[in-house]
Amino acid sequence: MRFAPRERLAARTSALRRELGDRGLDALVVTALPHLFYLLNLRASAGVAVVARDPPALQLVIDFRYVEAVDRLLRDGVAPPELEVVRVESTYDEALCDLLRRRPAGRVAIEADHLSVRRWTWLQRALAADLTPAVELVERARVIKDRHETQVLREAGEMLAAVIVPACGRARRGCSEIEVAKDIERLIEEAGFERQAFDAIVASGPNGALPHAHPTERRLSEGDLVILDFGGVHQGYCVDVSRTVSVGAPTAEASRLHRAVREAQVAAMAASAPGVPASEVDAAARTVLERYGLGDRFGHGTGHGLGIDVHELPRVGKRRAGPDEPDDLTLAAGMVFTVEPGVYVPGFGGVRIEDDVLMTEAGIEVLTPACRRLIDTDGLVSAGA
């Protein structure tokens, strides 16, 4: 495992502490496990961190299972500077309460999206204090990738791009969707990924009208369009692609749908630039599909952020209205996201083309450059792909 350098961890914590100050908060209780990896290089199934404006700036509550893991991070010099470790003696919540009681009174925020109502209520009662909900505090810090993260994601994109054509070749006539999915999963493992980012999607024929279909026993047959959607995790970071192939020569309608989606993806990528609202990227894709008469066949967003999670900020979709809706993030250098327009026609099938891009000061860098044409898988099979 290649960890983020400790100076990067220090910068992440410092930025979060400044944000706490800007919001008038004294501390943030971090319970989301991906955030523990982002802030501490710790991969664990349990743990709680407290980030505070005043020293101690970063405290980690862990149980016996992770003491050695944290000790190794400290010995190897890849733990945050000045990290204070608090060991759980009874329960995590009791240890957290004891820790917070020892701190000066102040405004303590809890990650509202990552704590159950039951735990929230217990903590409020145990602390006899009002806790402040914090929304997307760490998520918004994570949206801009630093040098370590962009290097890892570039590597992961290259690895996944090398899998795309072989994966397309696994969509052979007579194979079931489940069999194709297992073949793709093996390719991801052989490429060097530590695991899949999600269960591979193989949606053939009419099943392709379901954007997130689960592979079934349906067998691929002549004339099917097949959506393949798969991804991998490299050094703790996710990448994700989709391609659509044809079993045998594509029909005229299949070619039309694929051409429309490909043009929509090109338009969305062309619209992607620093300073552009994410909704404008989505609108560029929709404009193309509407011109083809397919606007009502595109029901999801044009993209989503990638990083430690396979779905994170920024959300690349329609502009939403209302105080409780996520705001329309402006694209900036360092963001990594997918561009994945699609069309879905009940009874016929669907097409989705998805790539991962890194926003730079000069525009986007495609991280998964590989064939996007409508492949006839018979040709790949005969070529030994």
pLDDT, averaged per 10 consecutive residues of the chain (385 residues), comes to 94 95 94 97 96 93 96 96 92 93 86 89 83 92 97 98 96 97 98 97 97 95 96 98 96 97 98 97 98 96 97 92 64 98 97 98 96 84 46
In this prediction, residue 264 carries a pLDDT of: 98
CATH numbers and ranges of domains, the chain? 6-142 (3.40.350.10), 147-382 (3.90.230.10)
In this prediction, residue 326 carries a pLDDT of: 55
Name the residue type at position 156: A
Answer whether 142's CB lies under 8 Å from 313's CB: yes
Nearest to 143 by CA among 8, 20, 314, 282: 314
In this prediction, residue 321 carries a pLDDT of: 59
pTM of the model: 0.94
Tell me the pLDDT tens digit for each residue of 285-334: 999 999 999 999 999 999 999 999 999 999 999 987 554 455 689 999 99
In this prediction, residue 131 carries a pLDDT of: 86
In this prediction, residue 380 carries a pLDDT of: 65
